[in-house]
Chains A and B, each alone.
Chain A
Amino acid sequence: DAGVTQSPTHLIKTRGQHVTLRCSPISGHKSVSWYQQVLGQGPQFIFQYYEKEERGRGNFPDRFSARQFPNYSSELNVNALLLGDSALYLCASSLGGGPTGEQYFGPGTRLTVT
């Protein structure tokens, strides 16, 4: 079975631009979470979606938004990019939306903002 897939793999954007990152969860998984991993740090929670509803949101500005589609895939959007948004963006899927299930991570999208 395919794992979590993310696209694109790498992305270079300029300050002020907008970016959309995409994620497809493991088949049968209904929850998708997004994390930002800055070099040398652990991942930081951005959003969780379950059954197309936002279930949780981390401490990120409103420039960050996301949505989940009927097929459970998800998009993360970031507006007005800043240099500090350069990071590895990880998507994770889990069967349900509860706190006890393990999350399975994709390979990530490396975003560089210049």
Chain B
Amino acid sequence: RKEVEQDPGPFNVPEGATVAFNCTYSNSASQSFFWYRQDCRKEPKLLMSVYSSGNEDGRFTAQLNRASQYISLLIRDSKLSDSATYLCVVIGGGGFKTIFGAGTRLFVKA
């Protein structure tokens, strides 16, 4: 099993759609979780941290289920500018090693 696994995508959605991305991780001792976005040939940029209680930032909602070792990202009212690759990031228990998922590509079309 991969350490961090994401929906392979790509997701092609119209503007205004709601889209959900899923991510699972294998190390039950993992402590920190994030969603990053990466535009083509650019550096990853933090989208949001993921907290156990779930958290929301505008149109974006992140959820964490430790029992199922599952993280999700929901994007509401998709914009053209949301087109990017979304990276699930997990930091291993007790260490500094950061594991990136392979990413899910999102295309939002007018």
Q: Do A and B come from one complex?
A: no
